[in-house]
Amino acid sequence: MTDRELLELAAHAAKFRVHGWIGEKFYVINPPNPAAHYDPFSWSPLDDDGDALRLAVKLGVCLETAASIEVGTFTYAGVTEGEYESGVEAWYVTKEAVTITAQEVYGSDPCAATRRAIVRAAAEIARAQAQ
């Protein structure tokens, strides 16, 4: 899934109206506020810590930092073991008790991985709402 698709789904989960794209900037409208109907704003939870945190809070997405994310397996002396890296897991439990999770390995930027995990979880929430 592309970043654009992730952002559009996450916006739907957060109950924003998608205004559209201008270049690489994504604009949304906050429908509960009638004055905001005419005031689209740039929204970038993949790049902005504040937007990502507000998204997580609005949706009730929980975060587990310093999680052990399985990235593969290795075999040594005939025994296959999981290979893990430090990362973040974003999770949410729906009303139907279905757990939605998104995991990201920290890599060189733990903040970027955390933002991406939040947006991926939000996108999965939107997909679950559409069913």
100 pLDDT more than 90: no
- For the whole prediction, is pTM greater than 0.85? no
Distance CA 107, CA 77 (A): 29
Confidence of residue 92 (pLDDT cuts 50, 70, 90): confident
Three-class SS state of 43: coil
| Highest-scoring range by mean pLDDT, 21-35, 77-91, 100-114 | 100-114
Measured distance CA(127)–CA(110) in Å, rounded: 26
CA distance 50 to 45: 7
CB of 115 closer than 8 Å to CB of 46: yes
pLDDT of 36 strictly over 60: no
Q: Which two tokens mark 21?
A: 């794209």
